[in-house]
Structure 1
Amino acid sequence: MKTVYERADIVPLLAEIFRELGYEGTSLSRITERTGIGKGSLYHFFPGGKEEMAGAVLADVDAWFEQAIYQPLRKDDAHRAIAAMWTEVNEYFRSGRRICLVGAFALDETRQRFSAAIADYFIRWVDALRSALMRAGCPEEEAQAFAEESVAGIQGALVLSRALEDTAVFTRSLETLAKRLDAVMR
Structure 2
Amino acid sequence: MGRASAIDDHDLLDRLTEVFRCHGYAGASLTVLSQAAGLQRASLYHRFPEGKPAMAAAVLNHAERMFTAILEPLTTAQHPADGVAEMAQRIGAFYRDGRRGCLLDTMTLDGAPDDIRVRATAVARRWMHGMAAAAMRSGASQDEAERRAHAALVNIEGALVVARVLDDPTEFDNTLAWLPQLLTATPSSAAPNRGDDR
TM-score (norm 1): 0.88
1:161 maps to which of 160, 163, 175: 163
| Change beyond 3 A, Cα 1:62–1:85 | same
By how many angstroms is 1:50 displaced?
Answer: 0.9
| Equivalences, count | 184
**Identity %, equivalent residues:** 32
- Does residue 73 of the first structure (1) align with residue 80 of the second (2)? no
Counterpart position of 2:183: 181
Amino acid in structure 2 at the alignment position of 1:81:
G
Helix, strand or coil at the partner of 2:139: coil
Alignment of 1:1-186 (within 5 A): 4-69=6-71, 71-77=72-78, 78-110=80-112, 112-184=114-186
By how many angstroms is 1:12 displaced?
Answer: 0.7
Superposition RMSD in Å: 2.1
Amino acid in structure 1 at the alignment position of 2:77:
D
166-175 or 85-94: bigger deviation: 166-175
Structure with the higher helix share, 1 or 2 = 1
By how many angstroms is 1:6 displaced?
Answer: 3.6
By how many angstroms is 1:180 displaced?
Answer: 2.7
By how many angstroms is 1:137 displaced?
Answer: 1.6
20-29 or 91-100: bigger deviation: 20-29
Helix, strand or coil at the partner of 1:108: coil
| Structure 2 unaligned spans of 5+ | 190-198
By how many angstroms is 1:113 displaced?
Answer: 4.4
C-alpha contact 2:13 2:62 (8 A) present in aligned 1: yes
| Structure 1 unaligned spans of 5+ | none
For residues 140-174 of structure 1, the C-alpha deviation after alignment (integer angstroms, 9 at most, x for no partner) is 11111101110121111111221222211211222
Helix, strand or coil at the partner of 1:48: coil
By how many angstroms is 1:111 displaced?
Answer: 6.5
By how many angstroms is 1:175 displaced?
Answer: 2.5
82-91 or 31-40: bigger deviation: 31-40
172-181 or 41-50: bigger deviation: 172-181
Query: 1:120 and 1:33 mapped to 2: Cα distance?
Result: 30
